[in-house]
Amino acid sequence: MRNPVVLVALGTRPEVIKLAPVIHALRSSRDFSVRVCVTAQHRQMLDVMLRNFDLRPDYDLDLMRANQDPSTFSARALPELRRVIRRVKPAYVLVQGDTTTAFIAALSAFYAKVPVGHVEAGLRTFDRENPFPEETNRVLISRLTDLHFTPTRAAGENLQAEGVPARSIVLTGNTVVDALRWAGAQPHRVAEPALFEGLNSMMGGDKAVLVTTHRRENHGEPLESLCGAFMTLLQKHPELHLFYPVHMNPNVRKTVRSIVRHPRGHLLPALDYFDLLHVMRSSRFVMTDSGGLQEEAPALGKPVIVLRQVTERPEAVAAGVAALAGTDARAVVSLASRLMEDGPFYDSMAKGSGIYGDGRASWRIVDSLRRRFGLAPRPPRAFTKA
């Protein structure tokens, strides 16, 4: 009898990081035939991550176009993903998170009457404009999903409040912790040694802060405000070095490069996973509007200033390892300065946290799929409220 085929669809850098452990676990189990389809929603950043995690897609749709918007990308992606599903005839389609790729892949599977597994299900801000379009994407994916793999108990409770049956919710932890542990076990190497030759001496201790920005809702005035805050911090703290991998989106690059002009404001190219972890480990804290970094930084004991109005990861805020600053320059400067100057406050946020799991989320996902196909004696344990 042929092993069930699991089709994993992804298109962006964060999806690779969070699905690579699942793909490797599925392949290691020997119970499934795995096919990987990439849309290349983010071409260059995706390719770097695929190399980092030693993944070679079976299908590459190469759909990225300059200045694409969600509607035109969706229109191109739907028929292409339908074609792949018809060819592969999967028993399950796995998607992750809240990207347009994840939504369109789930929709394509639904149209083909193929069950969907959603990795990192149940995250909510309850504000469909923040983040945009991700909040609406993940709500719609939940309506199309058969197995919801939730990273935290709170995410499962969100789904139950929306009427999702408990039997279809599996509490796994977040696969980002699996990826971090895998990366930590690899031989240390730097992808861009020339880039870091002059920077390593500026990292470590109280000197370095990692900054990332890319959210669509922060484009324009919010990003201008943030960049102004970064300049104020550099002027206020002469020991501070900002390490700022600038997102490849031209709307981000133009704004950042026109405002952040300071010898200690190091504007870097987009970094591969290992180089980004190198900078994060060497930083005092992180300022970001990224979802993934809100999970990775606490796992490494680094405080996080969240440059957004709301977050779908409230667990880190509740645990005191992350703080919402929004995009108001004064709020960002105040919070960052406190982390620079107030030792006890910094220590309270740098305590590290296991709120996102123990590094075995991928295996829980595989075990749940095995049980769905009768490959284990017991059904998956249903999610229950505490």
Q: Fold match between 5-174+357-372 and 193-349?
A: yes
Show the tokens assigned to 367.
């075990």
Please pick, among 35, 43, 98, 157, the residue that the annotation labels catalytic: 98
Upstream peptide bond of 70 is cis (omega within 30 degrees of 0): no
Catalytic site includes residue 98: yes
Q: Answer with the residue of higher pLDDT: 385 or 154.
A: 154
Question: Which candidate, 203, 205, 207, places its Cα nearest to that of 195?
Answer: 203
Measured in Å, how far apart are the chain's first and last C-alpha atoms?
41
CA distances from 230 to 15, 136, 223, 282, 283 (A): 28, 30, 10, 19, 15
CB atoms under 10 Å from CB of 318, counted, come to: 11
Question: Catalytic: 47?
Answer: no
Q: What is the CATH code for 193-349? A: 3.40.50.2000
Q: Given this model, what pLDDT does residue 251 score?
A: 84
Q: Give the closest residue to 121 by CA, choosing from 139, 101, 133, 100.
A: 139
Q: Is 312 a catalytic residue?
A: no
Which of 42, 124, 241, 247 is labelled catalytic?
A: 247
Task: Quickly count: other Cβ atoms within 10 Å of residue 236's Cβ.
Answer: 13
Q: Which of 183, 99, 128 lies closest to 118, judged by CA?
A: 99
Q: How far apart are CA 71 and CA 100, in angstroms?
A: 9
Catalytic-role residue among 134, 135, 295, 296: 134
Residue boundaries of the structural domains of the chain: 5-174+357-372, 193-349
Inform me whether the pLDDT recorded for 82 exceeds 70: yes
Query: Percent of the chain, pLDDT > 90?
Result: 76
For residues 36 and 20, the answer to whether their CB atoms sit within 8 Å is no
Task: For residue 262, indicate whether it is catalytic.
Answer: no
**Model-wide pTM > 0.75:** yes
Q: Is there a catalytic annotation at residue 216?
A: yes
Q: Catalytic annotation on 266?
A: no
Q: What is the pLDDT of residue 384?
A: 41
What confidence category does residue 190 fall into, taking pLDDT thresholds of 50, 70 and 90? low
Evaluate if residue 385 carries a pLDDT over 50: no
What one-character-per-residue DSSP string does 329-382 give? HHHHHHHHHHHHH-HHHHHHH-S---TT--S-HHHHHHHHHHHHTT-SSSPPPP
Q: What sign has the CA pseudo-torsion 139, 143, 149, 152?
A: positive
Residue from 106, 146, 139, 107 nearest 122 by CA: 139
Which residues lie below 8 Å from residue 381, measured CB to CB, with a gap of 6+?
170
- Average pLDDT taken over every residue of the chain: 91
Residue 367 has pLDDT above 70, yes or no: yes
Considering only CA atoms, which of 258, 260, 256 is closest in space to residue 247? 256
At 199 the pLDDT is 64
Specify the fold of 5-174+357-372: Rossmann fold (3.40.50)
Choosing from 13, 43, 120, 266, which is the catalytic residue? 120
Q: Is residue 24 very low, low, confident or very high in pLDDT (cuts 50, 70, 90)? A: very high
